[in-house]
């Protein structure tokens, strides 16, 4: 973990729909460090996917970046031109999408899809690109790499497609790889295979990985740091051990208490209420209607991210001067 | 990602979105918005409403009778007493155009309405039961569809004879396959929905599943198809009548009026053909634009 | 007394279009499973894609007709029309996609009333009040009863689906992935509701899921499926903590625990699940099994008892589990049976019926 590769500061993304303004991302601040695996955890409406899309420049009208900046390689990604995006996307920042089977071109052979990415950014020839693709596939222990190149996406299983898509994203040696829910929809035994592949890639290349997921098991096993999002804001940021052993933000605490575990049948404490709809976000802190520690100020002002421990930040009024600073688990 | 919007741009967009939100909260708010924002479909709506109203009330308000001949006033051009002029029998063309609107609307709406009902039944049954039922019903639809639409119409009219009632029957038959096909594809996908399974486990009988679960959820797309098909039906009706195969004279109908007037065009009496033609054009255009607007309302609505 | 619901030698095959025109392929979704559901012993059926667990559930509620085998309700075969009507009153199902399981055109109240009406639970006059009451039981306020499904959140939609299933006062509730489509913070709510309802109404659950953590919360018994065949069955806590079948071990070992200190990324299983149209010979798991023996390639294992657990594996012999040099999957090192077998290696009942 070295210097930050991507710094997101106070990002604001809004969608202007017929039904009103959807504040999908509402002042989000975090960084992706070099050579780390960062986990972005959140439920629906937390803004995690939109954040990732804005990091790739894929926010289209009616959505716009309404504030903040995304710093990468000395540039603010929210202000660069479409041409610059064409050079960046796929080469320096890449993304793997949900639903691997649908994210690949169904009428193009995989080999060609893989090669094309390389050729577009490196001006290589077909044979050079193909060779590189095969090499990478073999490096990550995908059996029968050559045969795979001649296949179509629908001939592969979901897990296989996901792995191919990951390789496709890595083929140009990006600095950041974003993965949107890579394990959702995969069989449990295949999930571990995929995570193993990701860990492998992390060790071979110096790329940072940003993993978006709602599965805390995935986070615990592969991430170095975690960002917890809710209602379009960052609730807590910490190293992975700290998040699980010593969560400070009431949302994180409540979440960890509410998830069922395989090895114990302790009573779950559910979180009352429902996840807010991005169209109708509560005022102030988005979690306050469901928070056991809610104070009057919570419905008025949005809390900033406060330092609560070494390398741990939580956005909660408990940690400001007025609060008690204690969120018991 | 487009160039980032300026702060004022964001404010403008926010204000606009909030205004829209106010409107969409109301019952038919979204529909209202669609028409406001898409002037073409609003135009369509206006035209259709205008045609309806004039067809309903027009002939009553006018002094002339559409069919009474009036020899002394024949072949008069458009004037203040005869807005659209008179034809070779001295009948007021304006009155006739409005009266024809009634007939054409009746035929078009009647046949589409019937085709809608029959096509829905056929398509839904075919999709729900599948296999043999589907094969038989769809092959019948295919047979109808494979004839060039107009030729088939002519053949059927030749067999049944002219007249409004037969015209409606003929056009219904021609239009049924497209409805059947649309509903069939919609029901095929809906059939797999969990709520259909849930209905089964709740003991709902098959006929109720079709009528209360499948068809109501397919109506959206059907309404759009229906609106579009109304315009085609009108063209078919007018076309057949133009050829003399449709409505019998002296019944006023746009197609027959156009046909009657073609022989006069060379003599310079353009008004006999042109006005009914324009009326027909407007009607078809109106329904088309309306269908556009309906589609915008029905289709998943998440766009700006 | 006879069990509430029973599957006997259940087999379900589907014919699908093959690669070659006019040649259809057979999907072996379920290839012979027998189990019984006793009152108050909730059972969880787990497996990955292609395991057949969803197919079993749908056969149990007669959404599918079995290719062969029977489903018995209280000992009686339900393949007759009156049998099915009885079945619907006593066995109900909650589906996986809560939004999709509600008719978008019906109000919440109407959805419940449909069930009451067609299963002849109540007279017309009482239906409205009963529907509102059922909804109240699952936490939907009377003022919300006239709303349409899309006006509810995912969690509320799932509650409505549960209320509908409870309308005929069933004995058995089959839950197909009840929490998979829900947000994390809501899963505990639904699980809590299900636990409470079971106690208040005396229900027995059949839980179909791939999420072993949920199974832990709701089930007493567990049945592990692989590619249409049972693999291991027995008390849930025991199997979850000490799985014996190589596949169960791989499955349970694949669960990612929300605990960063116990990190383990070594995949316990290589390869992919074969297609159900071409299941492997002998024991279906043999191509991927780390402890595969010669016999596994040709002979489909019979069910063998092992303490309270029944396993379909050639490793279980004489009530003991043989070990091979295969790598252990992070569980107990000692593979010898830890409890005295109550039966000396003979399968119970016919074709391995398990008392669930």
Pull the structure tokens for residue C265: 């990324």
Give whole-number Cα distances, B234 to B27, B108, B168, B170, B229, in Å.
32, 5, 10, 12, 8
Tokens 């399974």 correspond to B197
> What pairing do the DSSP bridges indicate for beta strands A305-309 and A233-239?
unpaired
pTM score of the predicted model:
0.84
- Distance between CA atoms of residues B126 and C331, nearest Å: 55
Q: Give the confidence band of C225 by pLDDT, cuts at 50, 70, 90.
A: very high
Pull the structure tokens for residue C54: 């969803």
Cβ-contact C228, C284 below 8 angstroms:
yes
Cβ-contact B92, B62 below 8 angstroms:
yes
Mean pLDDT of B22-43: 77
Which among B296, B295, B299, B287 has a CA at the least distance from the CA of B43?
A: B287
Q: Does B2 touch chain A (CB under 8 A)?
A: yes
pLDDT for residue C333: 33
The secondary element (H helix, E strand) that includes residue A38 is strand A37-42
The predicted-structure confidence for B189-216, as pLDDT tens digits, reads as follows 999 899 999 999 998 999 999 999 999 9
Instruction: Report the residue of chain A nearest C215, measured CA to CA.
Output: A262
Cross-chain CB nearest to A199 (options C156, C260, C265): C265
Q: Taking each helix axis from N to C terminus, what angle separates B29-37 and B7-25, rounded to the nearest 10 degrees?
A: 130
Q: Give the confidence band of A292 by pLDDT, cuts at 50, 70, 90.
A: confident
Give whole-number Cα distances, A312 to A237, C147, C217, in Å.
6, 43, 32
Cβ-contact C286, C60 below 8 angstroms:
no
Cβ-contact A159, A196 below 8 angstroms:
no
Q: Give the confidence band of B71 by pLDDT, cuts at 50, 70, 90.
A: low
The predicted-structure confidence for A193-247, as pLDDT tens digits, reads as follows 889 889 888 888 888 999 999 888 899 999 999 999 999 999 999 999 999 998 9
Cβ-contact C154, C179 below 8 angstroms:
no
The secondary element (H helix, E strand) that includes residue A115 is helix A110-122
Nearest-CA distance C108 → chain B (Å): 13
Instruction: Report the residue of chain C nearest A217, measured CA to CA.
Output: C258
Question: What's the first-to-final CA gap in chain A, in angstroms?
Answer: 29
Instruction: Report the residue of chain A nearest B33, measured CA to CA.
Output: A18
| Residue C71: strand, helix, or coil | strand
**Average pLDDT in chain B:** 84
The predicted-structure confidence for C19-45, as pLDDT tens digits, reads as follows 777 788 888 999 889 988 888 889 999
Cβ-contact B304, A62 below 8 angstroms:
yes
Using the beta-carbon criterion (under 8 Å), do A189 and C268 form an inter-chain contact?
Answer: yes
Using the beta-carbon criterion (under 8 Å), do A18 and B4 form an inter-chain contact?
Answer: no
Nearest-CA distance C261 → chain A (Å): 7
For the CA atoms of chain A, what is the radius of gyration? 21
The predicted-structure confidence for A26-55, as pLDDT tens digits, reads as follows 889 999 998 899 999 998 888 899 999 999
Q: Does A68 touch chain B (CB under 8 A)?
A: no
**Average pLDDT in chain C:** 82
pLDDT for residue C334: 32
Cβ-contact C136, C162 below 8 angstroms:
no
Q: Give the confidence band of C318 by pLDDT, cuts at 50, 70, 90.
A: low
Kindly tell me the burial class for residue C198, based on how many C-beta atoms sit within 10 Å of its own C-beta (0-12, 13-18, 19 or more).
middle
- Whether residue C356 is predicted with pLDDT greater than 70 in this model: the reply is no
- Whether residue A98 is predicted with pLDDT greater than 60 in this model: the reply is yes
Using the beta-carbon criterion (under 8 Å), do C189 and A240 form an inter-chain contact?
Answer: no
Cross-chain CB nearest to C95 (options B197, B203, B204): B197
pLDDT for residue A123: 83
Using the beta-carbon criterion (under 8 Å), do A60 and B1 form an inter-chain contact?
Answer: yes
Nearest-CA distance A165 → chain C (Å): 17
The predicted-structure confidence for A148-189, as pLDDT tens digits, reads as follows 888 898 888 888 889 899 988 988 889 999 999 998 888 888
Cross-chain CB nearest to C256 (options A217, A244, A255): A217
Using the beta-carbon criterion (under 8 Å), do A188 and C254 form an inter-chain contact?
Answer: yes
Nearest-CA distance C254 → chain A (Å): 6
Instruction: Report the residue of chain B nearest A86, measured CA to CA.
Output: B1
Which phi and psi angles does C240 have, rounded to 5°? Answer: -65, -30
**Average pLDDT in chain A:** 86
pLDDT for residue B177: 93
Cβ-contact A77, A70 below 8 angstroms:
yes
- Distance between CA atoms of residues C282 and C303, nearest Å: 14
| Residue B67: strand, helix, or coil | coil
The predicted-structure confidence for C123-136, as pLDDT tens digits, reads as follows 888 888 889 999 99
The edge-to-edge listing of strands for the beta sheet with A4-17 is A20-33, A4-17, A63-72, A75-76
Mean pLDDT of C204-211: 92
In order of their start, the domains of chain B are: 30-298 (1.10.3720.10)
- Distance between CA atoms of residues C352 and A254, nearest Å: 44
Residues of chain C found within 8 Å of residue B202, distances taken between Cβ atoms: 88, 114-115, 118-119, 164, 167
Instruction: Report the residue of chain B nearest A16, measured CA to CA.
Output: B17
- Whether residue A15 is predicted with pLDDT greater than 80 in this model: the reply is yes
Per cent of chain C over pLDDT 90 is 27
Q: Give the confidence band of B250 by pLDDT, cuts at 50, 70, 90.
A: confident
The edge-to-edge listing of strands for the beta sheet with A312-315 is A93-96, A176-180, A208-213, A37-42, A225-230, A233-239, A312-315, A305-309
How many C-beta atoms surround the C-beta of residue B78 within 10 A? 16
pLDDT for residue C355: 33
In this prediction, the answer to ipTM > 0.85 reads: no
pLDDT for residue C323: 60
Pull the structure tokens for residue B266: 């060379």
- Sign of the alpha-carbon dihedral angle for B266, B271, B275, B278: positive
- Distance between CA atoms of residues A4 and A72, nearest Å: 9
> What pairing do the DSSP bridges indicate for beta strands A176-180 and A208-213?
parallel
- Whether residue B124 is predicted with pLDDT greater than 80 in this model: the reply is yes
- Distance between CA atoms of residues A131 and A134, nearest Å: 5
- Whether residue C66 is predicted with pLDDT greater than 70 in this model: the reply is yes
Cross-chain CB nearest to A59 (options B1, B20, B302): B1
Higher-scoring residue by pLDDT: B136, A187: B136
Secondary-structure breakdown of chain B: helix, strand, coil percentages, each rounded to the nearest 5: 75, 0, 25
- Distance between CA atoms of residues B170 and B166, nearest Å: 6
Q: Give the confidence band of C294 by pLDDT, cuts at 50, 70, 90.
A: confident
Q: Does B300 touch chain C (CB under 8 A)?
A: no
Q: Taking each helix axis from N to C terminus, what angle separates B149-160 and B164-190, rounded to the nearest 10 degrees?
A: 130
Mean pLDDT of C54-76: 89
Which among B143, B115, B123 has a CA at the least distance from the CA of B188?
A: B123
| Four-CA torsion A232, A43, A30, C261, nearest 10 degrees | 160
Using the beta-carbon criterion (under 8 Å), do B201 and C118 form an inter-chain contact?
Answer: no
- Whether residue C145 is predicted with pLDDT greater than 50 in this model: the reply is yes
Question: Residue C230's beta-bridge partner residues?
Answer: C225
Q: Does B204 touch chain C (CB under 8 A)?
A: yes
Instruction: Determine the Cα angle at A302 with ends A300 and A307, to 5°.
Output: 135
Q: Give the confidence band of B271 by pLDDT, cuts at 50, 70, 90.
A: confident
In order of their start, the domains of chain C are: 5-219 (3.40.50.300), 223-321 (no CATH)
Cβ-contact A99, A179 below 8 angstroms:
no
Cβ-contact A248, A264 below 8 angstroms:
no
Within 8 A by CB and 6+ apart from C324, the residues are C291, C293, C315
pLDDT for residue B172: 93
DSSP string across B204-247 = --HHHIIIIIISTTTHHHHHHHHHHHHHHHHHHHHHHHHTTSSS
Question: What's the first-to-final CA gap in chain C, in angstroms?
Answer: 14
Using the beta-carbon criterion (under 8 Å), do B30 and A21 form an inter-chain contact?
Answer: no
DSSP string across B247-301 = SPTTS--HHHHHHHHHHHHTTT-THHHHHHHHHHHHHHHHHHHHHHHHHHHHS--
Q: Taking each helix axis from N to C terminus, what angle separates C154-166 and C184-201, rounded to the nearest 10 degrees?
A: 20
- Distance between CA atoms of residues C174 and A319, nearest Å: 46
- Whether residue C258 is predicted with pLDDT greater than 80 in this model: the reply is yes
Mean pLDDT of B216-229: 87
In order of their start, the domains of chain A are: 4-92+172-319 (3.40.50.300)
Within 8 A by CB and 6+ apart from C96, the residues are B194, C176, C177, C178, C180, C181
Cross-chain CB nearest to C61 (options B194, B201, B204): B201
- Distance between CA atoms of residues B53 and B47, nearest Å: 10
Q: Does B80 touch chain C (CB under 8 A)?
A: no
């Amino acid at each position: 973990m070295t210097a930050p590769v991507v710094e997101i500061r106070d990002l604001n993304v809004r969608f202007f729909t017929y039904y009103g303004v959807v504040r999908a991302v509402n002042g989000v601040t975090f960084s992706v460090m070099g050579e780390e695996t960062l986990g972005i955890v959140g439920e629906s409406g937390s803004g995690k996917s939109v954040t990732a899309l804005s990091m790739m420049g894929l926010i289209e009208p009616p959505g716009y970046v309404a504030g903040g900046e995304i710093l990468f390689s000395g540039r603010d990604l929210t202000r660069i031109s479409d041409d610059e995006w064409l050079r960046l996307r796929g080469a320096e920042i890449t993304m793997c999408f949900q639903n691997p089977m649908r994210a690949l071109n169904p009428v193009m052979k995989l080999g060609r899809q893989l090669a094309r990415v390389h050729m577009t950014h490196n001006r290589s020839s077909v044979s050079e690109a193909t060779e590189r693709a095969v090499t990478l596939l073999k490096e990550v222990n995908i059996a029968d790499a050559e045969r795979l190149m001649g296949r179509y996406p629908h001939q592969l299983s979901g897990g296989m497609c996901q792995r191919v898509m990951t390789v496709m994203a890595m083929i140009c040696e990006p600095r950041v790889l974003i993965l949107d829910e890579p394990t959702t929809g995969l069989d449990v035994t295949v999930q571990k295979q995929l995570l193993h592949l990701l860990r492998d890639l992390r060790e071979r290349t110096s790329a940072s990985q940003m993993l978006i997921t709602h599965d805390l098991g995935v986070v615990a096993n592969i991430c170095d740091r975690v960002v917890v999002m809710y209602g379009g804001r960052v609730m807590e940021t910490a190293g992975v051990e700290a998040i699980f052993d010593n969560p400070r933000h009431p949302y994180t605490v409540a979440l960890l208490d509410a998830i069922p575990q395989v090895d114990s049948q302790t009573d779950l404490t559910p979180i009352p209420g429902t996840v807010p709809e991005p169209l109708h976000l509560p005022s102030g802190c988005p979690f306050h209607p469901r928070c056991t520690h809610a104070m009057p100020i919570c419905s008025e002002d949005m809390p900033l991210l406060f330092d609560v421990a070494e390398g741990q930040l939580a956005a909660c009024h408990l940690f400001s001067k007025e609060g008690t600073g204690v969120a018991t688990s | 990602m487009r160039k980032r919007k300026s702060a004022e741009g964001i404010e403008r967009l926010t204000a606009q979105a909030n205004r829209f939100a106010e409107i969409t909260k109301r019952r038919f708010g979204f529909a209202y918005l669609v028409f406001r924002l898409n002037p073409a479909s609003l135009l369509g709506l206006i035209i259709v409403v205008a045609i309806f109203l004039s067809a309903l009330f027009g002939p009553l308000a006018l002094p002339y009778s559409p069919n009474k001949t009036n020899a002394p006033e024949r072949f008069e051009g458009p004037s203040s007493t005869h807005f659209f002029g008179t034809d070779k029998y001295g009948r007021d063309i304006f009155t006739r155009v409005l009266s024809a609107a009634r007939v054409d609307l009746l035929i078009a709406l009647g046949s589409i309405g019937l085709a809608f009902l029959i096509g829905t039944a056929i398509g839904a049954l075919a999709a729900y039961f599948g296999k043999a039922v589907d094969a038989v019903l769809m092959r019948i639809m295919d047979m109808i569809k494979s004839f060039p639409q107009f030729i088939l119409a002519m053949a059927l009219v030749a067999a049944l004879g002219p007249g409004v009632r037969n015209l409606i029957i003929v056009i219904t038959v021609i239009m049924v396959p497209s409805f059947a096909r649309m509903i069939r594809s919609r029901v095929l996908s809906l059939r797999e929905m969990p709520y259909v399974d849930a209905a089964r486990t709740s003991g709902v009988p098959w006929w109720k599943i079709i009528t209360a679960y499948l068809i109501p959820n397919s109506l959206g797309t059907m309404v759009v198809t229906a609106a579009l098909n109304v315009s085609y039906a009108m063209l078919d009706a007018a076309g057949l009548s133009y050829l003399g195969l449709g409505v019998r004279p002296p019944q006023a109908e746009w197609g027959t009026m156009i046909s009657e007037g073609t022989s006069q065009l060379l003599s310079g009496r353009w008004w006999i053909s042109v006005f009914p033609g324009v009326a027909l054009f407007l009607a078809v255009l109106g329904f088309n634009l309306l269908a556009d607007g309906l589609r915008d309302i029905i289709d998943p609505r998440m766009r700006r | 007394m006879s069990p509430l619901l029973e599957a006997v030698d259940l087999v379900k095959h589907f014919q699908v279009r093959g690669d070659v025109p006019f040649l259809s392929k057979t999907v072996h979704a379920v290839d012979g499973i027998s189990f019984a559901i006793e009152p108050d012993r909730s059972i969880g059926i787990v497996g990955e894609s292609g395991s057949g667990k969803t197919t079993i559930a749908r056969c149990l509620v007669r959404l599918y007709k079995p290719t062969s085998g029977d489903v018995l309700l209280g000992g009686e075969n339900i393949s007759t029309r009156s049998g099915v009507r009885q079945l619907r009153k006593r066995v109900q199902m909650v589906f996986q996609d809560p939004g999709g399981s509600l008719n978008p055109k019906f109000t919440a109240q109407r959805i419940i009333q449909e069930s009451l009406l067609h299963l002849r639970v109540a007279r017309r006059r009482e239906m409205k009040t009963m529907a509102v009451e059922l909804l109240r039981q699952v936490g939907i306020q009377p003022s919300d009863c006239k709303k349409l499904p899309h006006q509810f959140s995912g969690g509320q939609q799932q509650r409505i689906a549960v209320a509908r299933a409870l309308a005929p006062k069933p004995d058995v509730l089959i839950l197909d992935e009840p929490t998979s489509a829900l947000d994390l913070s809501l899963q505990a709510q639904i699980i809590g509701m299900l636990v409470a309802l079971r106690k208040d109404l005396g229900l027995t659950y059949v839980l179909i899921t791939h999420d072993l953590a949920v199974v832990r919360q709701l089930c007493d018994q567990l049945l592990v499926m692989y590619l249409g065949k049972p693999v291991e069955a027995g008390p849930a806590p025991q199997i979850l903590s000490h799985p014996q079948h190589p596949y169960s071990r791989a499955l349970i070992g694949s669960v990612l625990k929300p605990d960063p200190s116990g990190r383990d990324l070594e995949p316990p299983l290589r390869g992919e699940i074969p297609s159900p149209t071409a299941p492997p010979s002998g024991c279906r798991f043999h191509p991927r099994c780390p402890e595969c023996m010669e016999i596994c390639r040709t002979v489909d294992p019979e069910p063998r008892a092992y303490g309270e657990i029944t396993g379909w594996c050639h490793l279980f012999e004489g009530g003991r589990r043989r070990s091979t040099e295969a790598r252990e999957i992070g569980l107990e090192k000692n593979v010898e049976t830890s409890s005295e077998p109550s039966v000396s290696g003979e399968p119970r009942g016919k074709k391995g019926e398990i008392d669930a």
